[in-house]
Amino acid sequence: MTPSKSLPTVVIVGRPNVGKSTLFNRITGKRRAIVGDEPGITRDRIEGIADHKGRRFELIDTGGIVLQDLDYIPSQILKQARVALKRAAHIIFLIDGRAEITGADRDLAQMLLKLGRPVSIVVNKIDTQERENLAHEFYLLGISNLFPISAEHAMGIEALLDHVVTGFPMEQPEQTEPIETPSVKVAIIGRPNTGKSTLLNAFTGEERSIVSPVAGTTRDAVDEAVTHNDMEYVFVDTAGIRRKGKTTLMTEKLSVVMARRHIRMADVVLIVLDAVEGVLALDSTIAGYAHEGGRAIIVCVNKWDLIEEKGKRKFEQNLRDQMKFIDYAPVMFLSAKTGQGVKDLFKMIREVDGSASSRIPTGELNRFVESLHFEERKIFYVTQASVRPPTFVFFTSNTGPLHFSHERYLINQIRKRFGFRGTPVVVKTRAKKKA
């Protein structure tokens, strides 16, 4: 989605790890930003479109700005951040409510106030009433609009946005854009020579269009998109898929690095295996990263044209044994070279993307809890805290962490009831507050 020039922009600034990406995702309702500010990862500014009560705006996450660490931040990022701040209709200065105020916070507050743009100080990770009282100490930073929130638990967001969008124009119904084609970002990862670039060609064929790199994204990343049955499939960083290393050792290492990077950029990850070579340790390593990344996953057994049709069941059995941790991922047998199975893969991508982004209504979750036979502790209720991956919070009588086997049980029950094919499901527990 290309941000429209005419929309007001809201800019999020703050130090690393205060929760900018989580807030960004919460407000846009999408997973765009990289979650977690890992040092060394290009964290250019990230843009998205959001809507609050009919008022649309562009949201920009500037990445971690720390005044003290100017040397550390590539000047390009800083420049982009400055430009974004100067034209901001509103600046959200995000702070970790569990941390002490630092000199860097004070300097940043001063810098923001000097810009003369509307600024709110937003104190994140405030998920209880007691902490809300602590949030007041952040008034010391000299910014009078203060909002305690919990980006992760979606608390306080409405009040914040009510304030932020004040004065933004209401969407005119006649000006609304034509309904957008739904879009899914797909990463193709795997060892060297498993057929990733051949598969990319099979997907994109002749009709591919290069989606030019969004301003501010990594310079050499090129995405290619195709539309299939009214759905847009965006293959991320295809330059990285087509690029070839020199030696085997080099490419193997590179394949892991590329996989990790591509996983972050995608909604759905295709793990490509070579049917002739079978499942190797490196395949499992790469699959492990995809699983940890929380993305929807499809295992693609490529070069199946070289194998006898009958071997599918045995191959899958062996694969499942070696990749137990992604038992939720469908396995597809295909040939990128002949194109066999590629159409089905389009469908499957759509399906797993649907699983990863689906929300179960509270009523259904309540009925689900009632039907559970869970003796380990009492479950009062459950809510779905987020999507991509679907994350469920069980409010229980006991604070301790769940034993692995109990967690496993709950996840299995959720899958049994609601499906979620192809996506990890995350279960968390929290003690229910005493009334």
Binding interface with ligand GDP (CB under 6 A) = 190, 192-198, 302-303, 305-306, 335-337
Least distance from C-beta 203 to ligand GDP, angstroms? 12
Ramachandran angles phi, psi of 71, nearest 5°: -65, -30
Least distance from C-beta 263 to ligand GDP, angstroms? 16
Nearer to ligand GDP, 184 or 336 (CB): 336
Nearer to ligand GDP, 10 or 279 (CB): 279
Least distance from C-beta 302 to ligand GDP, angstroms? 5
Q: Go through the chain and tell me how many residues it has.
A: 435
Nearer to ligand GDP, 193 or 383 (CB): 193
CA-to-CA separations, 410 to 82, 91, 353, in angstroms, rounded: 47, 41, 22
Instruction: Write out the two tokens for 18.
Output: 């205060």
- Closest-approach residue to ligand GDP (CB): 195
Least distance from C-beta 307 to ligand GDP, angstroms? 10
CB-based contacts of 22-28 (< 8 A; 24+ apart in sequence): 22/124, 22/151, 22/152, 23/92, 23/94, 23/122, 23/124, 23/149, 23/151, 24/48, 24/59, 24/61, 26/151, 26/154, 26/157, 27/52, 27/59, 27/157, 27/161, 28/59
Q: Is 202 helix (H, G, I), strand (E, B) or coil?
A: helix
Least distance from C-beta 194 to ligand GDP, angstroms? 5
Nearer to ligand GDP, 210 or 306 (CB): 306
Least distance from C-beta 188 to ligand GDP, angstroms? 8
Least distance from C-beta 192 to ligand GDP, angstroms? 5
Nearer to ligand GDP, 109 or 186 (CB): 186
Nearer to ligand GDP, 63 or 190 (CB): 190
Whether residue 346 contacts residue 233, with contact meaning beta carbons closer than 8 Å, is answered with yes
Q: How far is CA 53 from the centre of its chain?
A: 24
Least distance from C-beta 376 to ligand GDP, angstroms? 45
Nearer to ligand GDP, 80 or 238 (CB): 238
Whether residue 48 contacts residue 59, with contact meaning beta carbons closer than 8 Å, is answered with yes
Least distance from C-beta 197 to ligand GDP, angstroms? 4
Nearer to ligand GDP, 157 or 199 (CB): 199
Q: Go through 116-146 and write b for each residue having 16 or more CB atoms within 10 A of its CB, e for each that does not.
A: eebbbbbbbbbbeeeebeebeebeebebebb
H helix or E strand, kind and range, residue 223: strand 223-228
Place of tokens 């949030």: 135
H helix or E strand, kind and range, residue 122: strand 119-124
Nearer to ligand GDP, 190 or 422 (CB): 190
H helix or E strand, kind and range, residue 315: helix 312-322
Whether residue 102 contacts residue 74, with contact meaning beta carbons closer than 8 Å, is answered with no
Nearer to ligand GDP, 146 or 287 (CB): 287
Place of tokens 């407000």: 27
Least distance from C-beta 210 to ligand GDP, angstroms? 18
The number of C-alpha atoms within 13 Å of 240 and in the hemisphere containing its C-beta is 25
Decide: residue 419, CB within 10 A, 0-12 exposed, 13-18 middle, 19+ buried.
middle
Nearer to ligand GDP, 62 or 194 (CB): 194
Q: Is 332 helix (H, G, I), strand (E, B) or coil?
A: strand
Q: Go through 157-175 and write b for each residue having 16 or more CB atoms within 10 A of its CB, e for each that does not.
A: beebbeebbeebeeeeeee
DSSP letter for 34, please: P
Whether residue 261 contacts residue 237, with contact meaning beta carbons closer than 8 Å, is answered with yes
Least distance from C-beta 308 to ligand GDP, angstroms? 14
